[in-house]
Amino acid sequence: MTKPKQIYWHFLPDNGKLRYGSNEVVKLKHTLMLPVDRKISLFNYGFHASKRAIDALQYAPGSLACIVTLHGEIKHGDDKSVAQGRTVWAMGDATNVLWEMACWSAEQALLNERKNGREPHKTSWGAINVRRLWMQGKASDRKLSAADSAAYSAAYYVADYAAYSAADSAADSAAYSAAYSAADSAAYSAAYSAARSAAYSAADSAAYSAADYAAYYADYYAAYSAARSAQNTHLEFLLKQHLGWRD
């Protein structure tokens, strides 16, 4: 089979089986197709995947990452697509990749705080460092828990929103949860920090005017979109490297 140019991203349960239908084990370079008389329906029926890894991540039932192609009739939604058929070209357990993504996302939130003149508490950096040591088997669960607790407490008491979210991203209790934090919470906090640096002055007034309110959220969503795009670029780089995929 010729290597495809248009790829999509999909996550499987850790057992490597389809979640619905036949529940069969998914095999590399084997195309699964729906019966010809069945109609696809976005979110309801068919083989799903996303053009961006970070979008696929929010639907992930586990940490088995796949690079796939879609076949036959294809319908596209905002962040996922559905098709009559799907072929997996690369597959691998991305647990550590997702933990690393969580750490990286947390660091971006903290660096953004520093850039905007709000230095995060040192325990927030410490929680990320201990998480990476834990990933390498060089830190115990107890040490990790202590580092996480310290970061949570410091972030809470100094009202450091980005640091708190960074600690949350780095401290989650499972690879999938960490991945979700990387794709959502840390992106949200990084975007929030970027947006508020540009628009937060409106909050100094007793109440928003309609114009201020609209401008604030326009800046926020622009920053959120930029942060999420940057995270997707990094996540896809890590996943392709892990799966041995070259464009």
Tens digits of residue pLDDT in 33-71? 998 888 999 989 999 999 999 899 888 888 899 999 999
- Residue after which a domain boundary falls, among 54, 71, 93: 93
Q: Is residue 119 part of a domain?
A: yes
Q: Which of 93, 127, 158 is the last residue of a domain?
A: 93
In terms of domains, do 170 and 185 share one?
yes
Do 68 and 181 lie in one domain? The reply is no
pLDDT in tens, 213-226: 666 566 667 776 77
Domain carrying residue 163: 96-243
On whether both 139 and 165 belong to a single domain, the answer is yes
Maximum mean pLDDT: which of 32-36, 166-170, 187-191: 32-36
Answer yes or no: is 214 within a domain: yes
Cβ atoms of 64 and 14 closer than 8 Å: yes
191 and 233 housed in the same domain: yes
Give the residue from 70, 93, 116 where a domain finishes. Answer: 93
Instruction: Please spell the DSSP secondary structure of 19-58, one letter per residue.
Output: SSTT-PBP-BT-EEE--TTPPPBTTTBSEEEBSSHHHHHT
Q: Are 235 and 113 found together in one domain?
A: yes
Q: Which two tokens stand for residue 138?
A: 């060089």
In a domain, 160, yes or no: yes
Same domain flag for 101 and 221? yes
Do 137 and 85 fall within a single domain? no
162 within domain boundaries? yes
Of the candidates 148, 108, 107, the one whose C-alpha atom is nearest the C-alpha of residue 127 is: 148
Treating both helix axes as pointing N-terminal to C-terminal, what angle do 161-171 and 95-115 enclose, rounded to 10 degrees?
170
If asked whether residues 69 and 116 sit together in one domain, one would say: no
55 shares its domain with 115: no
pTM over 0.85: no
Q: Is the dihedral of CA 171, 173, 175, 177 positive or negative?
A: negative
Counted domains in the chain: 2
Alpha-carbon dihedral angle through residues 194, 196, 197, 203, given to the nearest 10 degrees: 180
Q: Can you give the pLDDT at residue 219?
A: 67
